[in-house]
């Protein structure tokens, strides 16, 4: 683990918030993610289950968290099960957390921290006392999960061994909790954003005609690792010219050409929290007149959208209003005709030809973080704002994205210090020469 442990109070508070939402005699079970295989004896890098980490701060495989707030025995109200280090593990993988370390990291009393080998009898004891069990699953509107996770295997086991129990979905409760960030979470997010800012400045001094997109990507991972980040928050999009019109372009294999634009969508992952930044810069350091006109239009849409994000707003109505702002900008650019706009099908607005994706998503332990999109915005929520204009016939794609915190008075730009004005970007790129 590259980052220092987060304050245990973050996880103590998260467990307390969840416990208040549980009915009497309800038990909660969460499992770590698997380490997934590649081929031969290879494995992918381990990524912790976000819900588990949110509640205990343990970034280690084969971890189980059990909450049973109604338990008569105080030591059974919250229990953590971790993998015990054997001599073989110590030699080949390195030592795992001790019970003492896990207790300090999670804020769970050491008397309630157990080895994973002790899970079976305690699990049966809890299930025999519990009236209902809240079981975890990855529920996201945009997720298609074809593999069977540890959580899913445990669901099947519980239903098989205790078929008469009442089972509930934990996901809605976790979505409700995780959508509003605590002050401690915001501190960690700001660290991820600060590292991301350093990465962007590095790129402004690196990008020039002739470099490859993958070389630009390499500069980012260098900056992440040397600053203690875990790596990319997501596979970065480094898209030169027409590649920027592919929304999820991941090849990063083309050469950056003189006179073209380079769309950069990236972020650092720090302590499992993610930043998400997008900038579009001129490869040669100067925007053309046409590029600048489109760039400034996108920037005006972004700033207009930020004014709309405030407590009490629904994301659906917000998106509709952003669409109207974009429509006006596209009319000014000559990409839409006023007569056609007047006759358009309101369910299929014409602006979507050039701006076909949503403007904002939750951000946190996951880049597209969990949250109920039908819920009104509240202070403590964190969103991206990322409008874009994509003109395939011109080979131009421009997107600008900042991360914002919803406060009582509106949206606070957490990336306000990261250059976004065209003049500032040109000035910073000129300094490399």
Name all domains of the chain by residue range, CATH numbers in brackets.
Answer: 8-178 (3.40.350.10), 183-430 (3.90.230.10)
Residues 227-250 pLDDT 10s? 999 999 999 999 999 999 999 999
Q: How confident is the model at residue 2 (pLDDT cuts 50, 70, 90)?
A: confident
| Other Cβ atoms within 10 Å of 409 Cβ, number | 9
d(CA 294, CA 396): 9
Would you give the DSSP letter of residue 334? T
Stretch 179-205: mean pLDDT: 98
- CB contact set of 98 (below 8 Å; sequence gap of 6+): 85
Please tell me the predicted confidence (pLDDT) of residue 331: 98
Residues 317, 360, 264, CA angle at the centre, nearest 5°?
A: 150
Q: Are 250 and 239 in contact (CB under 8 A)?
A: no
pLDDT in tens, 317-348: 999 999 999 999 999 999 999 999 999 998 99
**pLDDT higher than threshold 90 for residue 220:** yes
Cα 381 to Cα 393: distance, rounded to the nearest angstrom: 37
Q: What confidence tens digit (pLDDT) does each residue in 134-157 have?
A: 999 998 888 887 889 999 999 999
* Exposure letters 300-333 (e unless 16+ CB within 10 A, then b): bbbbbbbebbbbebebeebeeebbebbbbbbbeb
Asked whether residue 131 carries a pLDDT value surpassing 90, the answer given is: yes
* 256-281: pLDDT as tens digits: 999 999 999 999 999 999 999 999 99
* Residue 35 CA: distances (Å) to CA of 38, 48, 117, 217: 10, 9, 19, 25
Sheet holding 402-407, edge to edge: 382-385, 402-407, 410-413
Cα–Cα distance between 397 and 386 in angstroms, integer? 13
Q: What is the pLDDT of residue 257?
A: 98
120-129 pLDDT, tens per residue? 999 999 999 9
Q: What is the pLDDT of residues 63-115, one digit of tens each?
A: 999 999 999 999 999 999 999 999 999 999 999 999 999 999 999 999 999 99
Assess whether pLDDT exceeds 70 at residue 190. yes
Res 433: pLDDT:
52
pLDDT at 161 over 60: yes
Query: Annotated catalytic sites, by residue?
Result: 41, 248, 265, 276, 357, 361, 368, 386, 390, 399, 401
């Amino acid at each position: 683990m590259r980052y220092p442990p987060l304050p245990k109070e973050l996880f103590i508070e998260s467990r307390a918030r969840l416990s208040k939402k549980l009915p009497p005699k309800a038990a909660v079970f969460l499992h770590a993610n698997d380490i997934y295989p590649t081929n031969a004896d290879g494995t992918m890098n381990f990524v912790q289950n976000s819900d588990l980490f949110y509640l205990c701060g343990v970034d280690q495989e084969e971890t189980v968290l059990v909450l049973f707030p109604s338990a008569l025995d105080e030591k059974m109200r919250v229990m953590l099960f971790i993998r015990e280090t054997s001599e073989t593990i110590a030699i080949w993988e390195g030592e795992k957390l001790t019970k003492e370390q896990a207790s300090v990291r999670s804020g769970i009393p050491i008397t309630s921290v157990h080895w994973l080998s002790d899970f079976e009898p305690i699990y049966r004891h809890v299930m025999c006392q519990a009236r209902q069990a809240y079981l975890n699953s990855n529920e996201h509107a945009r997720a298609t999960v074809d593999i069977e996770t540890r959580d899913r295997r445990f669901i099947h086991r519980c239903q098989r061994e205790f078929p008469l129990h009442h089972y509930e979905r934990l996901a809605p409760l976790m979505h409700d909790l995780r959508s509003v960030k605590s002050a401690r979470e915001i501190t960690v997010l700001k660290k991820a954003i600060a590292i991301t800012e350093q990465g962007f400045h590095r790129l402004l001094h690196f990008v020039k005609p002739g470099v490859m997109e993958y070389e630009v990507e390499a500069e980012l991972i260098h900056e992440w690792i040397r600053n203690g980040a875990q790596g990319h928050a997501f596979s970065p999009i480094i898209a030169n010219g027409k590649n920027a019109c592919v929304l999820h372009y991941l090849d990063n294999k083309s050469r950056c050409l003189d006179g073209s634009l380079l769309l950069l969508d990236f972020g650092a992952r720090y302590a499992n929290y993610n930043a998400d930044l997008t900038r579009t810069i001129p490869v040669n350091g100067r925007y053309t007149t046409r590029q600048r006109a489109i760039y400034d239009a996108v920037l005006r849409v972004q700033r207009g959208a930020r004014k709309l994000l405030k407590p009490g707003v629904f994301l659906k109505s917000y998106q509709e209003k952003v669409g109207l702002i974009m429509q006006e900008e596209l009319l000014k650019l000559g990409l839409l005709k006023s007569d056609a706009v007047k006759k358009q099908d309101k369910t299929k607005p014409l602006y979507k030809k050039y701006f076909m994706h949503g403007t904002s998503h939750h951000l946190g332990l996951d880049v597209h973080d969990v949250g109920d999109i039908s819920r009104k915005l509240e202070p403590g929520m964190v969103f991206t704002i990322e409008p874009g204009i994509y003109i395939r016939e011109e080979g131009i794609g421009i997107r600008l994205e900042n991360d914002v915190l919803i406060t009582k008075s509106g949206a606070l730009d957490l990336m306000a210090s990261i250059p976004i004005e065209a003049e500032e970007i040109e000035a910073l790129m000129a300094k490399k020469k």
